[in-house]
């Protein structure tokens, strides 16, 4: 395993206290905006666009279930991965590093920092689609809620420096 940072327990507990329905709506809106800006993500999923994906940050007390009914992303927060076709699990820092291209997904898998269960073909299709889109979540938030993105930018930069967690797109893969 690599030395990816773990979310501090107090922050993890705080996330667990967030009301799931409003957080699910906010994440769904962000995912739909990302899909609108990067439609190739959905098209690259091919036959796996009907799968349900459990994105499981193991240092948080919630799991994000991603579905794509009629090609429109929907994210539902729940306590476990039940009902999902596949599960992609790892520390939040590993999942964010994967999204931002800060580390190679294969390296995360082979180091066991990322665990895939269930329909591995669907999980791989999602990983490849996201990798190909070269996402930057802060940039995506900028397009959804510019004032929020402006407020988050200095906080994100400080958090990146202090924790080593990739909160924006990397310039190269390590």
Q: Long-range contacts for 75-81 (Cβ within 8 Å, ≥24 apart)?
A: 75/24, 75/27, 75/28, 75/31, 76/20, 76/24, 77/20, 77/23, 77/24, 77/27, 78/20, 81/54, 81/56, 81/117
Q: Has residue 106 been placed in a domain?
A: yes
Q: Has residue 23 been placed in a domain?
A: yes
Q: Is the pLDDT of residue 22 over 60?
A: yes
**pLDDT at site 172:** 46
Q: Is the pLDDT of residue 148 over 60?
A: yes
Q: Has residue 143 been placed in a domain?
A: no
Domain that holds residue 33: 7-134
The count of structural domains within the chain is 1
This prediction's pTM: 0.86
Q: Is the pLDDT of residue 135 over 50?
A: yes
Q: Has residue 165 been placed in a domain?
A: no
Sheet holding 74-78, edge to edge: 74-78, 63-67, 53-57, 86-90, 114-118
- Give Cα 112 distance to the centre of its chain: 17
Nearest-angstrom CA–CA distance, 83 and 152: 33
* Mean pLDDT along residues 40-46: 96
Percent of the chain with pLDDT over 70: 93
Which secondary-structure segment (H or E) carries 77?
A: strand 74-78
Q: Has residue 163 been placed in a domain?
A: no
Q: Has residue 139 been placed in a domain?
A: no
> Which range (18-32, 70-84, 132-146) has the least confidence?
132-146
Nearest-angstrom CA–CA distance, 97 and 105: 9
CATH at 105: 3.30.1050.10
* Mean pLDDT along residues 60-77: 96
């Amino acid at each position: 395993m690599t030395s990816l940072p773990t979310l501090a327990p107090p922050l993890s507990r705080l996330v667990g206290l967030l009301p799931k329905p409003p957080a699910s709506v906010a994440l769904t809106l962000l995912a739909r905006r990302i899909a609108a800006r990067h439609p190739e993500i959905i098209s690259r999923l091919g036959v796996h666009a009907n799968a349900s994906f459990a994105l499981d940050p193991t240092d948080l007390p919630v799991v994000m279930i991603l579905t794509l009914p009629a090609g429109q992303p929907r994210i539902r927060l729940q306590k476990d991965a039940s009902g999902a076709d596949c599960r992609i699990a790892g520390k939040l820092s590993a999942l964010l590093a994967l999204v931002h291209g800060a580390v190679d997904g294969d390296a995360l898998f082979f180091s066991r920092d990322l665990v895939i269960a269930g329909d591995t073909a669907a999980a791989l299709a999602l990983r490849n689609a996201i990798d190909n889109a070269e996402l930057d979540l802060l940039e995506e938030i900028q397009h959804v809620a510019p004032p929020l993105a402006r407020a988050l930018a200095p906080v994100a930069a400080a958090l990146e420096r202090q924790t080593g967690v990739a909160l924006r797109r990397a310039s190269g893969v390590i």
